[in-house]
Structure 1
Amino acid sequence: MRSIGEMARDSGLGVSALRFYDRAGVLVPAWVDPVSGYRWYGTEQLEESRLLARLRRAGMPLADIRLILAGWSGADTELVLKLLEAHLRRLELGLSDARDEFSAIRALLEHRENPMASLRTTTSRPAVSAPELAAALDAVRFAACADPEFPMLGGVLFDIEGGAVRVVATDRYRMAVARVGTTGGAGPRVQAIVPSPLVDAMRALLSDDAPVELTLDGDRVVMETGGRQVAGRCLDHEFPDYRRLVRLPAGRRVPVEVPAFREAVETGPVRASEVREQSGAACDLTVLKVTRDGAVAVCENDEEEHRVAVNREFLLDALDTAARDELVLEFGAPTAPLAIRRTDTEETFSLLMPFRLEN
């Protein structure tokens, strides 16, 4: 007999997924301890569990999976093949439809004017506080993208407008925004994406209270402080409209004491992501909910309602970079981003994209 943990390890299905498939009658354990409720599986069920994992990765509907497993155990190859072929046709039709839609979208993009182009043709020379700029870069750098397929996200956006510099980074699964006040540099809005290595070089110079002058001139950025200078070219891409992305419906705000909450996340239960929806790889998920007494708890029960699941590593990064003993977590719908906000400002925060919890 195999324990549920051993079955999860050897099959590629998470423990929570195995529990779900038991409740759904898809993969029922050979024996359940009547006292502890612990599930045990027969050796012959390993092949079925691996087949189930493959079918789920291929996006097979649960109803068809149930029939395939029944046909598999009964050697009904005709039924199994017909279900596989039908699902493959659905995938091919869906891919064909998606290609058509993407082609139409590309055509629309080619005919659109690029309203962002003017944001890189104006020179701006704002002065900022070195400690404030250092804190802002520390608050967002962790969210910059390292995926070469998305070069437009491979740095930090500097958005200068209205007496402030906003720095923004995102890797599609998390976003961080911070604001720094400026003196000088008044004029039209200017934007530039500073590549991550250049951002790191800038941050290395921000070690004292010397005034800092930024110069954004076309595709070039220069930072001067304390008689030292770092300069380089900006990325020749356009950053997504982050203002639209951070415009979220108001959610429920819950304060958390960071040291205790961080320990709860580090030591609390996790579940493995089954759907490879973020960065193409499975990860450990932390499932959070707001309790009746208004606290944030790490969920122990797969059947908890009003949950939000986020990448545990990303959550810990966001807590660390905020560098505060108290933060505010803002919960919207389970499918809405989880906002992590400081208590002293509304303009420095991070967002974590949630994972779908299908079971």
Structure 2
Amino acid sequence: MRSIGEMARDSGLGVSALRFYDGAGLLVPAWVDPVTGYRWYGPEQLEESRVLARLRRAGMPLADIRLVLAGWSSADTDLVRKLLQAHLRRLELGLSDARSEFSTLRALLERRENPMTVPHTTTVRPAVSAPELAAALDAVRFAAGTDPELPMLGGVLFDIERDALRVVATDRYRMAVAQAGTSGHGGPRVQVVVPSPLVDAMRALLSDGASARLTVDGDRVSLEAGDRQAAGRCLDHGFPDYRRLVLLPAGRRALVDVTAFREAVEAGPVRVSEVREQDGVSFDLSVLKVAADGVVTVCEDGDDGQDHIAVNREFLLDALAAGARDQLILEFGAPTAPLAIRRPDTEGTFSILMPVRLEN
């Protein structure tokens, strides 16, 4: 007999997934301790659990998986083959439809003549507050992407407009925006994407001194602070229109004490996600709910209310640290809407986390 922890290790399903499949009647433990409620699995169930894990990774619906497992246990290979073939045909048809739609979208992209980041031919040299820029970079750096397939997200957008510099980073699953004041630039809006290594070099210059000067000259960007400088080429890619991405519907707002809430998230229950939506890597989930009195709670396993929101726990902890305040505002929308994390005193600095579906 295997304990639920051993079964999770040997099958690759995860403890919370095994509990879910038990409740769904797909993989019911051979024995449950009547006193402790602890689940135990028989030797023959290991193969079934591995089949189940593979079928879920292949995206088969639970209703079909139920039939496959029934056929598997009864050695009805004909039924199993037909179900596998039917699902494969659905996947192939879906891929064919997706290819057709993507082909159309590529054609539309080729005809577009209004890129999101307009090439600059003039030089701009705004002065910027060193402490403000340092704080802004600290607030967004954690959200920069690392996926080589999406190089445009492997840096930080510097968006200069009037007397403000906004810095933005996103890896698709989270986004962070912060702002610093500037002076000396009264021209049109200028945007450049600064690669992450250069961002880190710029941040290192800002430890001392009150002011710095940012220079954008064509495809090059530099930051001068005192007698030191960090300079390099911008990324030759457009950046998503972040202003559209941060237009969130109004939600429930809750003020949290960051230290206490962080401890609750770190020590609270987590669920191992099998959705694998984030670059093919499984991750721990924290499921949050907000009560009518504004108290935010990390939910126990199985507590899946309609208004609860699940987020990548590591990303949530990163966002709390980047908030750099004793108190932060969590803004909850629908379970499918991003979770916003805002500073009470600064509307222009915030981060958003994409939710994760709780369905296994």
Contact 1:327-1:340 at 8 Å conserved across structures: yes
Q: Give the whole-Å Cα distance in 1 for the aligned partners of 2:277 and 2:128.
A: 39
| Aligned amino acid, residue 326 of structure 1 | Q
Matched residue of 1:35: which SS? Answer: coil
Paired AA for residue 350 in structure 1: S
Q: Which residue of 1 aligns with 2:356?
A: 355
Deviations along 1:131-179, one digit per CA (max 9) or x if unpaired, are: 0000001111111111111111111000001210000001111111001
Question: Given the alignment of the two structures, is residue 103 of structure 1 paired with residue 76 of structure 2, yes or no?
Answer: no
**How many Å separate the matches in 2 of 1:87 and 1:118?**
45
Q: Which residue of 1 aligns with 2:169?
A: 169
Structure 2's unaligned 5+ residue stretches are: none
The answer for the alignment partner of 2:91 in structure 1 is 91
Greater CA drift, 84-93 or 115-124: 115-124
CA separation in 2, counterparts of 1:252 and 1:315? 18
**Does 2:300 align with 1:300?**
yes
Give the Å deviation of 1:41. 1.4
CA distance in 1: counterparts of 2:207 and 2:227, whole angstroms? 13
Q: Per-residue deviation at 1:43?
A: 1.5
CA contact (8 A) 2:269 2:301 kept: no
Q: Which moved more, 1:235-244 or 1:283-292?
A: 283-292
Deviation at 1:119, TM superposition (A): 5.0
Structure 2 match to 1:315? 316
Q: Is the 8 A contact 1:210 1:226 kept in 2?
A: no
* Residue identity in the other structure for 1:334: P
Deviation at 1:292, TM superposition (A): 4.0
Instruction: Mark the runs of 5 or more structure 1 residues left unpaired by the alignment.
Output: none
C-alpha displacement of 1:117: 4.9
CA contact (8 A) 2:221 2:231 kept: yes
TM normalised by structure 2 equals 0.97
User: C-alpha distance in 2, partners of 1:56/1:316?
Assistant: 29
The CA deviation at 1:354 is 1.1
| 1:186 paired residue number | 186
**Conserved in 2, the CA contact under 8 Å of 1:155 and 1:194?**
yes
Q: Which amino acid aligns with 1:132?
A: E
Write out aligned runs for 1:208-357 (5 A). 208-305=208-305, 306-357=307-358
User: Which position in structure 2 is the counterpart of 1:68?
Assistant: 68
> Secondary structure of 2:123's match?
coil
* Alignment partner, residue 21 of structure 2: 21
Contact 1:122–1:188, Cα closer than 8 Å, also in 2: no
Take 2:61 and 2:326, find their aligned partners in 1: how far apart are those partners?
45
Distance in 1, matches of 2:317 and 2:29, equals: 35
* TM-score calculated relative to the size of structure 1: 0.97
Question: Which amino acid letter does the alignment assign opposite residue 341 of structure 1?
Answer: R
Hey, what's the Cα distance between the residues in 1 that align with 2:125 and 2:299?
Answer: 49
Asked whether the 8 Å contact 2:146–2:154 carries over to 1, the reply is yes
- Counterpart secondary structure, 1:179: strand
Give the superposition deviation at 1:114.
Answer: 2.5
User: Which residue identity is paired with 2:335?
Assistant: P
Query: Counterparts in 2 of 1:187-202, with a 5 A limit?
Result: 187-202=187-202
Inter-partner Cα distance in structure 1 for 2:323 and 2:116:
30
SS in 1 for 2:275: coil
